[in-house]
Amino acid sequence: MDMYQKREMRKNKKTDESTKSLPSTSINWYPGHMAKTKRQIEEDLKLIDIVVEILDARIPISSKNPDVKELIKDKKIIEVLNKADLANDKMNAKWSKYYKSNNIEAVLTDSNSGKGMNDVIKVIEKVASEDKMLQANKGRIGKTIRVLVLGIPNVGKSSFINRLAKKASAKVGNKPGVTTQKQWINVNNKIQLLDTPGILWPKLGRQSVALNLAYTGTIKDNIIDSTELVYYFVKDMIEKGYLNNIVERYKLDPNEIQDILNDENYMENERIMNIIDKIALKRGAILSGARIDYEKISTIILNEFREGKLGYITLEEP
Ligand SMILES: Nc1nc2c(ncn2[C@@H]2O[C@H](COP(=O)(O)OP(=O)(O)OP(=O)(O)O)[C@@H](O)[C@H]2O)c(=O)[nH]1
Ligand SMILES: [Mg+2]
């Protein structure tokens, strides 16, 4: 990066949280689409007893849609922190404790391996048995508990459903008298799952939320400049105590990195960019004229994060 680029970077980054604006929503979520999705979920809610909301364990706050509470009204909800295998163990425990102390039912899962699925089943049965409304509703006693899976894009809704379905017998066809085309999956003799999840719209109000969703791949990274995205990612990693993960993954010299971070001659954003430059050099993300290929290094770093190659990382704490 030459001096001019660095100056530009400095100019841009000074404003960080305050004035920098990201696109307010991903292209797929224009208001009409959102309204249609909402209506669909409202229809599905009429058919079910319990909601399972899938969150990304690495970003339990950013991956939660705050409208859900209003949407589901008095339906009971279970939070599933999926992709727990990619998240930090200590933070997983911290989040579990947080939910417990707030009387929120929450389960950590890995929908690839199936870890946590039995806990989900147990919690569904427990919640159903405690739900007075469900029990009071005479017609429902002895009937199956019907479950709807909700979640923002890419959190693992389909993987989660497939995992539960694998344990289950074949799909149940349309029930006579049910006019919709709904397909139900028998999870066991007590629980049925609607086979299509409700896709919630991500809430991009705060910049940090939009960034978290871009890091994890929930919103397309082409809505934000890749140099900026990787800049914020590395900055967040350092601030959240994951500098070592980067140093180790890219075989950087820890002393050299410390020197960069302590160098008073640079603004913070320049220090971050210098570290990214080091990674780019290691990975050969170089263009003609020895310029850094930020697009390439951005893709490399973020893909490796998404694949878990940077280690177990949780970006939000309770
Ligand atoms: N490591 C890990 N990867 C997961 C887990 N669950 C899902 N994935 C991966 O995350 C990606 C998205 O999973 P999907 O099940 O398609 O997510 P979805 O919520 O159905 O996504 P949309 O249908 O696009 O809204 C896939 O590459 C999955 O393999 C998990 O628990 N751990
Ligand atoms: Mg899906």
Give the pLDDT confidence score for residue 13 in this predicted structure.
45
Best mutation site among 158, 159, 163 for ligand 1 pocket (most ligand atoms within 8 Å of CB): 159
The parts of the chain modelled with pLDDT lower than 50 are 11-27, 169-179
Ion ligand 2: residues, CB within 5 A, are 157-158
pLDDT tens per residue across span 3-25: 555 555 554 444 443 334 444 44
Q: Which of 191, 111, 116 is nearest to 158 (CA)?
A: 111
- Any idea where the domains of the chain sit in the sequence? 3-22+224-306, 27-199
Look up the pTM and report it: 0.87
Which ligand 1 atom minimizes the distance to the CA of 86?
1
Give the pLDDT confidence score for residue 257 in this predicted structure.
97
User: Which bound ligand lies closest to the C-alpha atom of 196?
Assistant: 2
For residue 214 the two structure tokens come to 């871009």
Q: Are 194 and 149 in contact (CB under 8 A)?
A: yes
Which residues are registered as beta bridge partners of 51? 77, 148
Smallest CA separation from ligand 1 atom 6, residue: 156
Q: Which of 87, 62, 67, 90 is nearest to 77 (CA)?
A: 67
For residue 15 the two structure tokens come to 């404003």
Does residue 159 line the site of ligand 1, with CB under 6 A? yes
Distance from residue 83's CA to the centre of ligand 2 (Å):
14
The CATH number corresponding to 27-199 among 3.40.50.10540, 3.40.50.720, 3.40.50.300, 3.30.465.10 equals 3.40.50.300
Question: How far is residue 179 from each of residues 48, 173, 182, 196, 274, measured CA to CA in Å?
Answer: 15, 12, 8, 16, 61
CA–CA–CA angle 244, 204, 44 (5° rounding): 115
Which ligand 1 atom minimizes the distance to the CA of 82?
31
Q: How far apart (Å, rounded) are the C-alpha atoms in residues 65 and 201?
A: 7
CATH number of 3-22+224-306: 1.10.1580.10
Give the pLDDT confidence score for residue 316 in this predicted structure.
97
Locus of tokens 């430059």: 277
Best mutation site among 28, 110, 113, 158 for ligand 1 pocket (most ligand atoms within 8 Å of CB): 158
User: Which bound ligand lies closest to the C-alpha atom of 157?
Assistant: 1
- DSSP helix, strand, coil percent of the chain (3-state; round to 5): 50, 10, 40
Distance from residue 280's CA to the centre of ligand 2 (Å):
33
Best mutation site among 82, 111, 152, 201 for ligand 1 pocket (most ligand atoms within 8 Å of CB): 111
Smallest CA separation from ligand 1 atom 9, residue: 156
Does residue 274 line the site of ligand 1, with CB under 6 A? no
Give the pLDDT confidence score for residue 14 in this predicted structure.
42
* 3-state class (DSSP) for residue 181: coil
Give the pLDDT confidence score for residue 175 in this predicted structure.
45
CA–CA–CA angle 316, 317, 318 (5° rounding): 130
Locus of tokens 């409208």: 67
